[in-house]
Amino acid sequence: MKFIVVTGGVMSGLGKGITAASIGRLLVDLGYRVVPIKIDPYINIDAGTMNPFQHGEVYVLKDGTEVDLDLGHYERFMGLELTGEHNITTGKIYRRVIEKERRGEYLGQTVQIIPHVTDEIKSWIREVAKKKDAEICLIEVGGTVGDIESMPFLEAIRQMRIEEKDGNFLLVHVTLVPLDAGGEQKTKPTQHSVKELRELGLYPDIIVGRCKEKLKDSTKKKIALFCDVEKEAVISNEDCDIYEVPLKFREEKLDEVILKKLRLEKRERKTEWEEFVKKMRELKEEVDIAIVGKYVDVKDAYLSIREALKHAGVHLGCKVNFAWIDSEKLENSNEVELNYDGILIPGGFGKRGAEGKIMAIRYAREKNIPFLGICFGFQLAVVEFSRNVCGIRNASSSELSESGECVIDLLPEQKQIKELGGTMRLGEIEVTIKPGTIAHKLYGKEKVFERHRHRYEVNPEYIPKLESKGLVFSGWSDSKRRMEILELPTHRFFFATQFHPEFKSRPLFPSPPFRGFLESAFGYRKERRDGKI
């Protein structure tokens, strides 16, 4: 078993997750079985209750575990489907240790960070790697070297390095190489970061320098000299599209350095990722998509949606331009003017900005603009249709208001739940699709599995009235108890899903709803450009 550990220094947000995912992609392309693990040093059990303004989106795995968005990068880059065991948090580790102590498994010992917590961390990593029959286990340690929260994990990594045989362990350290006012690449932050890493007993084998521009040869020599690594092991990671990073690393011969240091054979390389990036670089057409949400100031809150649209765009040969529309500001405006090729309403929770989203949905429906609703967007599409087509003026969701007619409501079992964390309808669930519908045309099958993260449902009492006015529920689950997909056949493209199709979109395999939405938006753009509408 080989282990590659990715750490970060200087500052957060440098792109450790993309670096780890890109290393994984290089190794997958060479035919190696890679198992990624993300370590999040926060005390939370999972990311489910975290504020998107602080943390970005909450990504949902197939088993329903709510995790950090970096695991989404792993799945997209490596073409994997992960579960909760691939995400370690301080909360999970301490819960395990405390449960063992309560059961008396430590035989009366004083339970301490070393060895009990560090042993639990190492045991978790090795168990997952062995269970998944990995050739290479790729571990990203979240946070920044020097953070007090990361100390137990870095100590566990230090111990693993000693315990593993020579040639089985590799440490990749990601640092910042900023430019000064004169445009000179400065290496001092990297030197200090490596010094801090060494004080913990860890020595980097490879240094990845994040910079606005490609690292100069002189910069690499200086980092190599002061940080005690070979010059070939100083890798430039300049600003570029995230899907180009694996190819940039290959140009830097990072894959060759890894193979050499881990004593791995060079295998025949797949080229499908190169072909995807080549197509992405050659996009000539464009399409403008408005994303109407309440977290638009933090683009990572909708990261998977953004990437799913990019995947579909590359597949269709068009670049996607994003317009981020604040639903709260829209709610307070006197009129709606959304002159875009398509309108997308993403998931979300709570009353704030909900009426603005409803206004955008009505605008898309009445102006016959391609529309895609995801989760909360699906529910609000039902509310909008109920109010403005079915004539139920006080239609609402019980999430927004207990008064009025709740066309969206909690099912009885959900009303009994008081805790917030991990209590929604989560993970991959089978959805049945009605033949002859738009949904069936997009998916090409009658049974699909999609990932969920929601608590409220379409109220079954109102379904007959909604359908009598032309709304089609073309997908359902739980023996037709829960509606999963809606569409308007008379509309250019009016489609919404209760589930989150963006979580299963991959660069090489775009999500069907996103592909259908973007195809319609692109067609709408061409019609307008040609003066047909």
Please, what are the domains in the chain?
A: 2-275 (3.40.50.300), 284-529 (3.40.50.880)
pLDDT, residue 497, reads 98
pLDDT in tens, 336-361: 889 999 999 999 888 898 999 999 99
Strand runs labelled E in 142-232: 169-176, 206-211
Question: For residue 231, is pLDDT > 90?
Answer: yes
Question: For residue 415, is pLDDT > 80?
Answer: no
Question: For residue 421, is pLDDT > 80?
Answer: no
pLDDT in tens, 364-408: 999 999 999 999 999 999 999 999 999 999 999 998 887 888 999
Rounded average pLDDT over 495-521: 97
Helix (H) or strand (E) holding 144, with range, is none
Annotated active-site positions, please?
375, 500, 502
Do 138 and 36 contact (CB within 8 A), yes or no?
yes
pLDDT, residue 160, reads 96
Cβ neighbours of 278 (radius 10 Å): 12
Rounded average pLDDT over 160-177: 94
Distances (CA, A) of 24 to 4, 98, 316, 507, 514: 10, 33, 27, 15, 26
pLDDT in tens, 112-168: 999 999 999 999 999 999 999 999 999 999 999 989 999 999 999 999 999 998 899
Lowest mean pLDDT, pick from 80-89, 197-206, 396-405, 452-461: 396-405
Q: Which two tokens stand for residue 259?
A: 């193979």
Do 86 and 36 contact (CB within 8 A), yes or no?
yes
Pairing, β 472-477 against β 34-40: unpaired
pLDDT, residue 102, reads 94
Helices (H) and strands (E) in the chain, counts: 19, 21
Do 152 and 91 contact (CB within 8 A), yes or no?
no
Q: Dump the DSSP string for 406-441.
A: EEEE--HHHHT----TT-SEEEEEEEEE-TTSHHHH
pLDDT, residue 418, reads 64
Q: Which two tokens stand for residue 319?
A: 């670049």
Query: What's the chain's average pLDDT?
Result: 94
